[in-house]
Amino acid sequence: MFPAKSFSSKNVAVFGLARSGISCATALRLGGANVMAWDDSEPAVEKARAEGVSITNLHTVDFKTLDALVLSPGVPLTHPEPHWSVIKARAAGIEVIGDTEVFARELKGSGAKLVAITGTNGKSTTTALIGHVLKEAGLDVCVGGNIGLAVFNLRAPITGRIYVLELSSFQIDLMPSLKPDVGILTNITPDHLDRHGTFENYAAVKARIFARMDANSLGLYGVDETITGQASTTTQGKGKMCAVSVMRDLSDGLAAPEGLLRERSNGKTVVELDLRAMPALKGRHNWQNACMAFGVARYFDVPVAKIASAMQGFPGLAHRMQQIGTRGAVAFVNDSKATNADATEKALASFDNIYWIAGGIAKSGGIEPLASYFPKITRAYLIGIAAGSFAKTLKGKVESVMSETLEHAVADAARDAAASTKPNPVVLLSPACASFDQYKNFELRGEAFVSLVAALPGIHMSTGGQS
């Protein structure tokens, strides 16, 4: 925790007292602001009060006496309609900002650098991978934002410190002075339209990550979705822009269509890096994450050999295609976060000879959209409520075992994979289902998988595998 001095002696309202709200309110108080914090949830208010936050019912406050409203990113700013606190703030003519905007003002003049990552998909893994690569290179790095720690729970800004922040569209919408040294837009697909009204509005908010860049800035953007490239090139500020593709080669930019990352300039290859054998970077979506991380590392002058070594040792995010261990030729992969078919598709596309553990509470459509990947599955081990319906979908296409519980599924799959005569067997937990029939959340399901795998005789657990 460090103080937010940019609002010293000013009256600041904070609405929304989850982790980032409590953290920002505390930082503002430490920086000398007069803080009035509130939440319409009584448990949230009591939790904040217990942590020393000064509580004021904002319903009773004249907003004309305030200098700013710091709004939780989860509270509606524009759609489906502005929150009551936003309406009061606008009527009073005061700015409405988020904790990340307060943080951005603290960065000014500090000598610290900012790497900001946004996008519909892939931003968490990209953020974690960038942080890992830069730390392995010996740089002073803090990772947080929409992933991990709230910004004011990071270390204070100093010269040479690099902040690697994942930013949601909600956070960017409340961050008017966002000016990263490196801005990253992974991709844009329809999402959060209830909060942004239209896809065009959502894309425009995402693309603001580039709007204030200067000549010393770098923007990395995916070009495999047309809208991403269009949004990036229309709001790029004055920074250098670098295109990224995992679907085709590029004459300028970073591309890894077959897992071989190439940096090219004017049609000439500058450097290559083979991603295909890196255990935590399987599949096109992870190759895109790696391209983004490579671009950031090059911006900070990290040698290519150090980038390669760091990526080779990246453990992956817990529960997201995370290789947790090996036993002989068999790899064990925890993809518990795959709670629907779209998420599981990425995992099935990334491996062959799959011993697939699936099931739980199925989403609409079940696993029928995954039919084109069924030939990659050697055997399926079905658990939870969806086991019966999944067995019907797989009948005649994939041999399946009604394991019922994760404990039985791990034992069954580990036994069968060890006897495989085909190369590179993978025991893959990618349920394509919610976990609530057997586990409170996907994290607990993934942790149970890790524990069961760790108990197997002869297992070699990966660094970072115990989540």
| Helical packing angle, 199-207 and 226-234, nearest 10° | 50
Q: Out of 5, 192, 363, 408, which one is annotated catalytic?
A: 192
Candidate list 123, 179, 285, 346, residue with the active-site label = 123
C-alpha pair distances (Å), 466 with each of 95, 325, 328, 452: 44, 9, 19, 11
Name residue 227's amino acid.
I
User: Cα separations (Å) of 162 from 115, 156, 180, 253?
Assistant: 7, 11, 11, 23
Q: Is 192 marked active-site?
A: yes
Measuring CA to CA, which residue among 427, 423, 374 is closest to residue 396? Answer: 374
Catalytic, 337? Answer no
Q: Which two tokens mark 412?
A: 């069954």
Question: Which among 34, 121, 146, 286 is annotated as catalytic?
Answer: 146
Edge-to-edge strands of the sheet including 268-274?
141-145, 162-166, 113-118, 182-185, 218-222, 240-245, 253-255, 260-265, 268-274
- Residue 424 in contact with residue 331, Cβ under 8 Å? yes
Nearest 5°: the CA angle 268, 269, 270 is 110
Residue 78: both structure tokens together: 């524009």
Q: Is 88 annotated in the active site?
A: no
Cα 143-145-151 angle, rounded to 5 deg:
85
Active site residues: 123, 146, 192
